[in-house]
Each structure stands twice: as C-alpha cells, then as structure tokens.
Amino acid sequence: MNAEWLDDVWFHRAVWITATVILCLQLAQNIVYLVQLAKALPEFLRARSRASRLREWWLLTSEATPPMTLLVPAYNEEATIVESLRSTLTLRYPEYEIIVVNDGSKDKTLDRLIEAFALQPVHRALAGRTAYQPVRGIYACAALPNLLVVDKQNGGKADALNAAIDLATHPYVCAVDADSLLDSDALLRAVRPFVDAPDTTLAVGGTIRVVNGCQVRAGQVLEVRPPKHWLELFQAVEYLRAFLLARMAWTRNQSVTIISGAFGIFRRDVLLELGGYAHGTVGEDMELVVRLHRWAGDTDSPAEVWHVPDPVCWTEVPDSIKVLSRQRTRWQRGLCETLWKHRGMLGRKRYGSAGMYALPSFLLFDVVSPLLELLGLVMVPLCALAGILSVEFFIAYCAVVFGFGLCLSLGAMILAEFSLQHHRRVRDLLWMGVGAIMENFGYRQLNSWWRVQGIWQFLRKKQGWGAMTRKGFTKAA
C-alpha cells in the first residue's frame, strides 16, 4: 500500500489545524460546563428559597393557585396509558382536568381506557382555535368528571396537543407524556413561578428522571432505584446532568429554550395566540419554547421561562440500542429543525439570552461539535500511522476530558441528592457513580454518532418518529 501521502506536508498541516480546532472547541465546551456548574448551585438555592415561601400545603389551599388542564397525547401506549392516567388522577392539586388524546393509535390504547375508566361517549363543542386532524369521538366518565378522552385521526404529537388545547377550559395547560408518571406534588411545585410572577412567566418545566429499575405500584414510584442494565444506567446519569446542571444554569440567565415534552406548563392564552404547537417537526417541545422567546422579543413582552428542579416526572427510557438510536436521531433532527426555522434569532440581542447565548451554544456544541469529535476519532489512527501522534499527550488529553465529564456527572448526582433526596442507599449512589465513569467509554461516542446521523436525516428532510417500544411500568419496576 502506498502511504506517501502520510508524509506530505499538507497532510501534516491539515491535521495540525483540525486538531487545534477540535481542542479549542473542547476547551470552550468545558469552560461553558464549568460556568453552568457555577450558576446551577445559586439557582438551586433560589429554588429552595421559593419552595420554603410557597409550601405545598399553602398552594393546595390558596386561591392564588390557578386551575390547570393536563394534556396527555397518546399513540400506541396500551402498555402504560392506564397506569400513567391513574397516577395523574391522584395528583395533589386544588383544581385540574385531564384531557387524554388518542392520536389514531393502532393498538388497544382506546379500548384499555374505555374498559379501565368505564368511559361513555359525550358531546363537546370544538372551538377550532388550533389546527388538528378530525375528532372521531369524545368520551367521559361519570365517576371522574375531570377526565375527558378524545379519539381523533392520527396527526402526530403536536396535532394531538393542539386538540387538547382547544378543548381545555383552564388558563394554564400542562403537557404530560402518556408513558410518564408524575410525583403526587409535582404540579404544586411546578406552579410556583406562575404564582410568584403570573404576568411575566410564560412556561415552566420540571425534572425528568428515569423510572427504569424503580418500584412502581398503582401509578406511584414507591422506591427509587437506579437501573440495573448499563444502557438504562447511562441514560439515568445523562438525565441528571442535563436537567440538574444545564437547565438550572439556563434558568439563571433566563435562557431556557427546552422544556421537555414529558412535563411542561404553559400559559394557554399565549399558546392560542401563537397557534399552538407547530406541525411538521419532531422537536415540537423545543420549537414551542424558542417560539415563545421569539414572540416575546418581537412584541417587547416581558417573558420568563423557568426550570424548577424539585417537581419530578418519571419516564421509561429505551432499553435497546435500536430504539435508543431512533430516539436520539429524532431529537437531533428536532434540534436542527428548530435552529433552522428560527435562525434569525441567532446572535440577536432583541431575543435576550436565548438568542445571544442559548441557541448559538446549541449550534456550536450540539451540531458542530459532534462532527468534529467523530473526525477526531478518525484522525487518531491516521496520526499514529504518520508518526505525528504523541501517545503521552493523547493519554493525558483523554484523562482530562473523561475526568472532567466524570466531575460534572458526580456534581449533578450531588445536587440531585441535595435537592430531591431520592437515592438514599449508598450502594445506589456508588452504582450511579460507576455509570458516570463507564459512559465515557463508548456510550458518549455512540451519542455523537447518532447526532451526526440526525444531522444527515435533517439534511435529507426525513420525517416521522419511528416506533418506540414500551415495556410498561410494572415490568420496569
């Protein structure tokens, strides 16, 4: 094999320039993570201060606590829908209604609901204030007057949420995934920013935790346990880092641009003014929050979007590489779609911290960085063949990067225990620590590959969600 090109001066220059860019980007990303860690802690303290002023018992009895409509879109959720809905019906909250939307499921989702809650067909007027596919039927339960089930033609998650928004009767709406469970006090804790500042607060998101491995009964998480299997454990560590570091830091800057579709509260009047959730995207949750920031900037309206750490929503994460890869490539497509659709916000002071910092950060660290990271992995063997790789430097670099990632994950675990106090056994915390170490060897690189795949799918304009297999909470327990 002719390898003269390995000794070419232009190859060496290209390698040096590329390596410098990758190292500088990695350094910038680590600095951003350090800043996030520094900002997350005081935001935790502020959240605890708000919690001490607005305790659950006061919110439960106060007239200041606004009524709420829970929006539950469901597509092929027969394994989890009944358990999830039973959990939702036991929430501690003064006044709320639940609207479940069966979005043309091909399984027995609707049948399970009708059987479990003795549903009967009813008539409800449709205002048509948002766009969604035709409704085939509406069902209610005489014993549960706050429950409404809508059966409609398939149109996607955003379409189902729009149908629920149109039927909602309360001023605030909370989007909840059908494969998730809410802590009994989650709504009371999440509503605090709306009670504190009802005129400026547009949206609030809570913390998403992994239910795999936990003991679940009657829709309630009885005992918190970390997942036993590696793939689910890595995701549990990942969720802690994302929700208890990054989003708390964004809250500090009022630059929260993602509220998870699994658990988020919004002002209904603003959603109606914006036309509800956008069709044609698989990242409808992020797109909506970014559109809220854009609306606030364009109309010079005061706007605050909060992430609150202590209200917890438990979700079942994929337990197979195949299903997880579909989820992560879909997330990346949604991110790219949102950044492209709202590219006019990038670097614009008019849109506050969201336009100046959050969106450029996503572009740099979630779109550009994975491409360069994979390029760096390809360059390592080439540099070794060319004799220009310093083994000592490479080992030291990997040790610093992996060690830094481990510190971030452990920091998130400490903050989680400090604020949520869910893991109480030492061996559970140690097992999560093992996961924080081992995720650096293969899992994080695999995530970069899935992100690159998601970028390619976006460029090819791929649509659709892909099948998401669920085991159900009783099996996850």
342-351, pLDDT tens digit by residue?
A: 999 999 999 9
Q: What is the pLDDT of residue 335?
A: 96
pLDDT for position 67: 97
Query: Which domains does the chain carry?
Result: 36-359 (3.90.550.10)
476, pLDDT greater than 60: no
pLDDT of 3: 58
Average pLDDT over residues 176-194: 91
Q: Is the pLDDT of residue 477 over 50?
A: no
247 or 104, greater pLDDT = 104
- Residue 132 near residue 159, CB atoms below 8 Å: yes
Count Cβ atoms below 10 Å from residue 131 Cβ, excluding itself.
Answer: 16
At residue 232, the pLDDT reads 96
Judge contact between 371 and 455, C-beta under 8 A: yes
pLDDT at 1 over 60: no
Average pLDDT, the chain: 87
Mean pLDDT for the stretch of residues 154-159: 94
| Residue 115: strand, helix, or coil | helix
Q: For residue range 123-153, what is the model confidence (pLDDT) as tens digits? A: 998 989 999 999 999 999 999 999 999 999 9
Q: Is the pLDDT of residue 330 over 70?
A: yes
Averaged over 444-454, what is the pLDDT?
A: 93
Q: Three-state SS for 133?
A: coil
Give the pLDDT confidence score for residue 216 in this predicted structure: 86
Q: What is the pLDDT of residues 427-447, one digit of tens each?
A: 888 898 888 888 888 898 899
Q: DSSP states of 394-462 as a string?
A: HHHHHHHHHHHHHHHHHHHHHHHHHHT-----HHHHHHHHHHHHHTTTTHHHHHHHHHHHHHHHHHTT-
Cα dist from 8 to 4, 14, 357, whole Å:
7, 10, 40
The confidence band for 302, taking pLDDT boundaries of 50, 70 and 90, is confident
**DSSP H or E stretch at residue 152:** strand 144-152
Least confident of 110-124, 215-229, 359-373: 215-229
Helix, strand, coil tally for the chain in percent (to 5): 55, 15, 30
Query: What percent of the chain lies above the pLDDT cut of 90?
Result: 53
Place of tokens 């998870």: 260
User: Per-residue pLDDT for 6 more than 60?
Assistant: no
367, 455 contact by CB (below 8 A): yes
What whole-number distance in Å separates Cα of residue 359 and Cα of residue 353? 9
